[in-house]
Amino acid sequence: AGRVSLDGSKQRLLVVANRLPVSAVRRGEDSWQLEMSVGGLVTALLGVKEFETRWIGWAGVNVPDEIGQKALTKALAEKRCIPVFLDEEIVHQYYNGYCNNILWPLFHYLGLPQEDRLATTRSFQSQLDAYKKANQMFADVVNEHYEEGDVVWCHDYHLMFLPKCLKERNNKMKVGWFLHTPFPSSEIHRTLPSRSELLRSVLAADLVGFHTYDYARHFVSACTRILGLEGTPEGVEDQGKLTRVAAFPIGIDSDRFIRALELPQVQDHMKELKERFAGRKVMLGVDRLDMIKGIPQKILAFEKFLEENPNWRDKVVLLQIAVPTRTDVPEYQKLTSQVHEIVGRINGRFGTLTAVPIHHLDRSLDFPALCALYAVTDVALVTSSRDGMNLVSYEFVACQASKKGVLILSEFAGAAQSLGAGAILVNPWNITEVASSIGYALNMPADEREKRHHHNFMHVTTHTSQEWAATFVSELNDTIVEAQLRLRQ
């Protein structure tokens, strides 16, 4: 509905997200290098090809001078990206503070930070003010580039004020908002001092989307219990105005991964990896080094498995690729040293002069290396304590057509609802259960592996990011038509 018009032109889609798909690194006064950004939001949105898309977002860098801003704007334009320039103070209060020290942990059931709960609402308030200010800055850039008929799709917990800012200025704008994290139980959301304001701002959108039905239900409950509004099967109603709320499970561009496996560069990587780990089973973890990914739990479960299964000690290796993320937030710094300490201890305990059980890399891998690694893996381990969806599990499945390896997946990841029948589901807090699942996965007979893989592969290759975006945008177009019809009645 409305994606390609009769003259063949595509509908314009303004994707507004805090993080652009490319991050900028300064190389000179007016020269910039652009690098791919890492994260599920970027991975999914890069697969969206059916629209005339423009990205609006932050390039991950402070650019105080006009020369730099001009040059970067030009470089980004080639990638159809439009920058929002945020100064250091705003980034500190909005991105490090309100987004990643308050909303992110809260939405993943880790609660509010102690300092804010105990003492000053001052820092909380200044972070909230910066958050609103940043959202207004995003709105200003959207308004500058908006053309009539565009669909404006706002993304994630960074931009919960954006729908309201946009609608206040232009009530006719088609605005959708999608959350890439879980939306927690309303009992968790109600602890947030600004709980009502955030909900009301999101409700200004025409369509609000979540990865799973449960997250959508939590959101509707929060609106009914905290705001006293009416929840209907369609969404939330406030004085005759309906905001549609629904689940739109995200996917990946699976073809991109499947095709990559044929590339000589990827084949070379695979060959190297197979030689390097010949005679050992390969287990793999790929995560941003984030407190929600359950990386310490994963490594401790692997230690328990080695402890209980001495015969496996020289026959299995865990490759944990953990790209550092949000490194200015203290919780993330603590996590890095904690993970290093555990890995060091276990390698000291079970390593030999020639081999160690865990290879931990603090960095991102480029696409060919990542695909090769997924393809040679026997068992992938995803142990998030909470995760909106978790696209790493999808990517692993897409690359396993020939090997048919096993996915061990946290029941607290959104992906458990789509890949649950093919994966081994675990409670990552239960180290003993994860350790025994590792044993089960390593010993799984080929026919069972094949059956499980088939289920997941079918899902990953049919529920793609293209489908996800097309469904969301078409639903947004329909929602607006329906609202207009209701008004006329």
Binding mask 267-296 for ligand ADP (x = CB under 6 A): -------------------xxx--------
| Separation of alpha carbons 433 and 305, rounded Å | 10
Place of tokens 């789509």: 418
State the Cα–Cα distance between residues 9 and 6, nearest whole angstrom.
7
Per the document, the length of the chain is 489
DSSP, collapsed to helix, strand or coil, labels residue 281 as strand
Binders of ligand G6P in range 163-182 (CB under 6 A): 180-181
What minimum distance in Å lies between the beta carbon of 357 and ligand G6P? 29
- Three-state DSSP class for 184? coil
Closer residue to ligand ADP (CB): 11 or 325: 325
Nearer to ligand G6P, 410 or 477 (CB): 410
Smallest separation, CB 154 to ligand ADP (Å): 17
Question: CB-based contacts of 146: which residues, under 8 Å, 6+ apart?
Answer: 14, 152, 170, 173
CB 243 to ligand ADP: min, Å: 25
d(CA 339, CA 330) in angstroms, rounded, equals 14
- Read off the amino acid at residue 248: F
Distance of alpha carbon 127 from alpha carbon 469, whole angstroms: 32
User: Is residue 391 involved in binding ligand ADP (CB under 6 A)?
Assistant: yes
Displacement of CA 106 from its chain's centroid (Å) = 16
Which of ligand ADP, ligand G6P, none is residue 323 near (CB under 5 to 8 Å by kind)?
A: ligand ADP
Are 424 and 477 contacting, i.e. CB atoms less than 8 angstroms apart?
A: no
Nearest to 409 by CA among 282, 395, 401, 375: 395
Q: In which element (H, E) is residue 12 found?
A: strand 12-19
> Least distance to ligand ADP from the beta carbon of 337, Å?
18
Give the nearest residue (CB) to ligand G6P: 39
Q: Which is nearer to ligand ADP, 166 or 321 (CB)?
A: 321
Residue 287 interaction partner, one of ligand ADP, ligand G6P, none, beta carbon < 5-8 Å per kind:
ligand ADP
Binding flags for ligand ADP, 299-338, as an x/- string (CB under 6 A): ----------------------xxx---------------
Min dist. Cβ of residue 322 to ligand ADP (A): 6
Beta bridge partners of 207: 176, 244
**For ligand G6P, the closer CB: 174 or 326:** 326
Helix pair 195-203, 213-227: axis angle to 10 deg:
120
Binding range to ligand G6P, per CB under 6 A, among 33-41, 227-235, 336-344, 450-458 = 33-41
CB contact at 8 A, 111 and 191? yes
> Exactly one of 53, 243, 297, 364 binds ligand ADP (CB under 6 A); which one?
364
Two tokens, residue 244: 């549609």
Cβ neighbours for 116, distance < 8 A, ≥ 6 positions apart: 102, 123, 124
Cα dihedral across residues 15, 391, 46, 62: positive or negative: positive
- Is 392 a binding residue for ligand ADP by CB under 6 A? The answer is yes
Q: Which does 320 bind (CB under 5 to 8 A by kind): ligand G6P, ligand ADP, none?
A: none
How is residue 194 annotated by DSSP? T
The binder of 326, among ligand G6P, ligand ADP, none, by C-beta within 5 to 8 A per type, is: ligand G6P
| Residue 321 contact partner, candidates ligand ADP, ligand G6P, none, CB within 5 to 8 A by sort of partner | ligand ADP
CB of 390 to ligand ADP, least distance (A): 4
Nearer to ligand ADP, 81 or 252 (CB): 252
Which helix (H) or strand (E) segment is 304 a member of?
A: helix 295-308
Cα-flanking dihedrals φ and ψ of residue 216, to 5°?
A: -65, -40
CB of 451 to ligand ADP, least distance (A): 24
Per-residue 3-state assignment (H helix, E strand, C coil) for 80-132? CEEECCCCHHHHHHHHHHHHHHHHHHHHCCCCCCHHHHHCCHHHHHHHHHHHH
With CB under 6 A as the contact rule, the residue among 71, 81, 342, 370 that binds ligand ADP is: 370
Inter-axis angle of helices 264-276 and 367-376, nearest 10: 50
**Residues 37-56 contacting ligand G6P, CB under 6 A:** 39-41
Q: Output the smallest distance, CB 16 to ligand ADP, in A.
A: 17
Q: Which is nearer to ligand ADP, 258 or 323 (CB)?
A: 323
Comparison of 174 and 360: residue with beta carbon closer to ligand ADP: 360
Contact with ligand ADP (CB under 6 A) among 389, 426, 434, 460 = 389
We find the least distance from the C-beta atom of residue 224 to ligand ADP, in angstroms, to be: 29
Binds ligand G6P by CB under 6 A, chosen from 131, 152, 153, 156: 156
- The angle, 0 to 180 degrees and rounded to 10, between the axes of the packed helices 330-350 and 295-308 is 10
Min dist CB 196 to ligand G6P, Å, is 23
Please give the residue ranges that form the binding site for ligand G6P (CB under 6 A): 19, 39-41, 156, 180-181, 325-326
Please give the residue ranges that form the binding site for ligand ADP (CB under 6 A): 38-40, 43, 286-288, 321-323, 364-365, 370, 389-392, 395
